């Protein structure tokens, strides 16, 4: 029976590079994988053919021999499948479907050591701080719940003579079985991959291997942090197993709002109310900022809603490179109640000020009449 051309099997050009070969193989192998086509012999044969083609074309020396002499250039007899292709298959699909612990292809050198050191889990701690602390920076002590390795069993969960080899996996930490032409490897369900089971649980931790405690830690808050800022405390997370390092603790900041100031990135905003006389004549007003009292100059004739910028009085940048600005939004307050003297003064003022809607501006009603008359 004539074998199909390997390039046609993978549906690639003869000039395809390694990345193109891998991509084509992955796409086709997913389609014809036996797990997706149970009982389909044609799909199983196609899958084998894909593995054989990729095995040859992914090997530079075998590919060169195939390109020059065809199938005759390969070693005669037996399967053309390179055993390493199964390892490659594991690498290709492991990141997508978690097949790394599923397929036992490529020899015993890829079997995980059940007693290998493993890093502990990272931990998150949400910390609410005052606005002032975010502006100036501070040091805050927190109580963090965590697990500590049991001092009696050193995290094994068993007494000194309480561990025995797992009878199911015989200490391998995984079990193997055959499916179609594949050898499947799974983590042993009885021992959880440790290769040992507990015969006599530790009296102190009751077999858990860890004890629960609370740890007091000091968190240094740099000036300029904002809600969502993460501070990393190295190796303050959960402990590792089999001598592995602890994980990290991530402190996630939430800044409480301020009664006067509002933050936008590194700028601060506030509202400064003034009266109509100050708006008309101008004024010097002291404003309490995070840097103490600052004199704000109100220019003559300022309008409500205009803003005055105080450079360098905003939020410090976490990088330590400068600060934002403080933007003062002016709000002109019109008095709602006047005494007799104030009312008299405003009446005198009214006679000296121009009427804003006369004579150039006819007002809304006059404009409407002109529009309808067109």
pLDDT digits (tens, 9 = 90+) for 27-42: 888 888 877 888 888 8
Q: What is the pLDDT of residues 39-52, one digit of tens each?
A: 888 888 888 888 88
CA 97 to chain centre: 21
Listed residues 73, 91, 110: the one ending a domain: 110
pLDDT of 114 reads: 55
CATH number at residue 65: 1.10.287.110
In a domain, 129, yes or no: no
Report how many domains make up the chain.
2
Is the confidence at residue 241, as pLDDT, over 80?
A: no
pLDDT band at 87, cuts 50/70/90? Answer: very low
pLDDT of 101 reads: 42
In a domain, 152, yes or no: no
307-310 vs 196-198, strand pairing mode: unpaired
In a domain, 200, yes or no: no
| Highest-pLDDT range among 25-29, 354-358, 367-371 | 25-29
Q: CA–CA separation, 370 vs 245, rounded Å?
A: 83
| Domain ranges, residue 55 | 6-110
Q: CA–CA separation, 195 vs 172, rounded Å?
A: 5
pLDDT of 219 reads: 92
Is the confidence at residue 83, as pLDDT, over 50?
A: no
Model pTM? 0.55
CATH number at residue 285: 2.60.260.20
Q: CA–CA separation, 182 vs 203, rounded Å?
A: 44
In a domain, 73, yes or no: yes
| Highest-pLDDT range among 40-49, 200-209, 288-297 | 288-297
Listed residues 71, 94, 110: the one ending a domain: 110
pLDDT of 265 reads: 92
How far is CA 77 from each of CA 54, 58, 61, 74, 313, rounded to the nearest angstrom?
18, 20, 18, 9, 81
Least confident of 43-57, 121-135, 246-260, 269-283: 43-57
10 Å Cβ neighbour count for 15?
7
In a domain, 332, yes or no: yes
Is the confidence at residue 312, as pLDDT, over 80?
A: yes
In a domain, 123, yes or no: no
Q: Which residue has the tokens 């050898």?
A: 183
Least confident of 113-117, 124-128, 153-157, 179-183: 179-183
Query: How high does pLDDT run on average in the chain?
Result: 80
With a pLDDT cut of 90, the percent of the chain lying above it is: 28
In a domain, 311, yes or no: yes
pLDDT band at 105, cuts 50/70/90? Answer: very low
pLDDT of 359 reads: 52
In a domain, 304, yes or no: yes
Q: CA–CA separation, 130 vs 321, rounded Å?
A: 23
Listed residues 72, 87, 110: the one ending a domain: 110
Q: Which residue, 229, 265, 220, 227, is CA-closest to 130? A: 227
Residues 188-216 have a mean pLDDT of: 81
């Amino acid at each position: 029976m004539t074998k199909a051309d390997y390039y046609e099997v993978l549906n690639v050009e003869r000039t395809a590079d390694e990345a193109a070969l891998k991509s084509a193989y992955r796409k086709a192998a997913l389609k014809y994988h036996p797990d997706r086509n149970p009982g389909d012999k044609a799909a199983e044969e196609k899958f084998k053919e894909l593995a054989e083609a990729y095995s040859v074309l992914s090997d530079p020396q075998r590919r060169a021999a195939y390109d020059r002499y065809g199938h005759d250039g390969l070693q005669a007899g037996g399967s053309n499948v390179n055993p390493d292709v199964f390892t490659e298959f594991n690498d290709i699909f492991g990141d997508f479907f978690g097949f790394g612990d599923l397929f036992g292809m490529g020899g015993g050198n890829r079997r995980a050591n059940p007693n290998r050191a493993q890093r502990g889990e990272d931990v998150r701690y949400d910390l609410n701080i005052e606005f002032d602390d975010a502006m100036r920076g501070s040091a805050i002590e927190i109580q963090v719940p965590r697990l500590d390795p049991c001092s009696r069993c050193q995290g094994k969960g068993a007494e000194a003579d309480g561990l025995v080899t797992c009878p199911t996996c015989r200490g391998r930490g995984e079990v193997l079985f055959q499916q179609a032409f594949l050898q499947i490897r799974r983590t042993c369900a009885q021992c959880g991959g440790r290769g040992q089971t507990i015969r006599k649980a530790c009296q102190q931790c009751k077999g858990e291997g860890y004890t629960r405690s609370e740890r007091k830690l000091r968190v240094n808050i740099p000036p300029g942090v904002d809600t969502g800022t993460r501070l990393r405390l190295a190796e303050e997370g959960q402990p590792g197993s089999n001598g592995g390092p602890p994980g990290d603790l991530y402190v996630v900041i939430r800044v409480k709002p301020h009664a006067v100031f509002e933050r936008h990135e590194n700028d601060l905003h506030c509202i400064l109310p003034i009266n109509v006389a100050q708006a008309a004549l101008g004024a010097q007003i002291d404003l309490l900022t995070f840097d103490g009292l600052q004199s704000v100059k109100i220019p003559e004739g300022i309008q409500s809603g205009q803003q005055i910028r105080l450079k360098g009085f905003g939020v410090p940048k976490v990088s330590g490179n400068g600060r934002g600005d403080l933007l003062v939004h002016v709000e002109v307050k019109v008095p709602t109640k006047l005494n007799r003297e104030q009312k008299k003064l405003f009446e005198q003022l009214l006679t000296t000020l121009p009427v804003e809607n006369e004579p150039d501006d006819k007002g809304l009603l006059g404009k409407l009449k002109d529009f309808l008359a067109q």
